[in-house]
Amino acid sequence: MILETAGLVRHFGGIKALDGVDIGVRCGELVGVIGPNGSGKTTLFNVITGIYRPDGGSVRMEGASIGGLPPHRITRLGIARTFQNIRLFRELSVADNVRIAHHQHVRYGPADAVCRTGSFHREERRMREEVEGFLSLFSLQDRRGELAKNLSYGDQRKLEIARALACCPKVLLLDEPAAGMNPSEVAKLMEFILQIRERFRLTVLLIEHQMRLVMGICERLVVLDFGRVIAEGVPSAIRKHPRVVEAYLGRNVPSGNRIHG
């Protein structure tokens, strides 16, 4: 297991957003996290990435306990994410958004930067090339100087993934990356997620509302409802799982989110 939670609990006032969540993700796996609105999916990501402290239970990354560590430490341990509500530096350029994320991997020290040593220039050049690489991967290289806020919605979503990849993660958490995209953009994005997983040897955890999509690309699904894991398994089994069908169909769920959609 590369990432593991055990008995994870997080409350908000009287709400148990996570009520004892055990998940285990194997190295290289692509796991979908699904569940009705408010079932705790985003909170799970927020606790794993240190945005919220757990009220109970543990989070382990490669065996080391990371529950309650601050976000930047967790990023450095190899977990990067995107947000359901896009969080870019809106007033910075596209390239700067990626550069800032990538910067934690430079190998020169403050003295090199002040004295402009050879290693400073080498690292700066390497970093510029790598940032360009991430941008072209997402066909954003021609927009490198544009302010992030001026990108189309779909491109902002891509930039968020580019920025997360620039942290050189081992585990990538994507929170509804296809939200607001049209069906053909969504199909491309899913194909793209499969490609970057291969290329960067990532383990991916994907929250997605559009069921047919997660069913299509995920090897395994974890289903949350009211902060608990109610089912997990391969997509074909999950589709028929009585508790999952009940969680989705027993309530007023928009048709796009229906499991039989």
Residues lying near ligand ADP in the complex (CB under 6 A) are found at 12, 15, 17, 35, 37-43
Footprint of Mg ion on 180-219 (CB under 5 A): none
In whole angstroms, how close is the CB of 71 to ligand ADP at the nearest point? 15
Q: Which does 153 bind (CB under 5 to 8 A by kind): ligand ADP, Mg ion, none?
A: none
Alpha-carbon distance of 150 to 79, in angstroms, equals: 28
Interface mask toward Mg ion for 66-85; x: CB under 5 A = ------------------x-
Q: Are 228 and 244 within 8 A, CB to CB?
A: no
49 belongs to the binding site for Mg ion (CB under 5 A):
no
Pick the closer one to ligand ADP by CB: 187 or 245: 245
Shortest Cβ 84–Mg ion spacing (Å)? 5
d(CA 168, CA 75): 9
CB 196 within 8 A of CB 71: no
**Residue 256 burial (CB count, 10 A):** 10
Q: Which of Mg ion, ligand ADP, none sits in contact with 235, Cβ below 5 to 8 A by type? A: none
Q: Which does 38 bind (CB under 5 to 8 A by kind): Mg ion, ligand ADP, none?
A: ligand ADP
Residues contacting Mg ion: total by CB under 5 A:
3
Structure tokens at 207: 């929250």
How far apart are CB 38 and ligand ADP at their closest, in Å? Answer: 4
3-state SS string over 37-69? CCCCHHHHHHHHCCCCCCCEEEEEECCEECCCC
Among 8, 19, 36, 42, contact with Mg ion (rule: CB under 5 A): 42
* Sign of the four-CA dihedral 192, 196, 49, 160: negative
Minimum CB separation from ligand ADP for residue 36, in Å?
7
**Quick check: 57 and 9 in contact, CB under 8 A?**
yes
Stretch in the footprint of Mg ion (CB under 5 A) among 41-49, 110-118, 187-195, 219-227: 41-49
Nearer to Mg ion, 84 or 117 (CB): 84
Task: Name the packing angle between helices 118-137 and 153-166 (round to 10°).
Answer: 140
Q: Which residues bind Mg ion (CB under 5 A)?
A: 41-42, 84
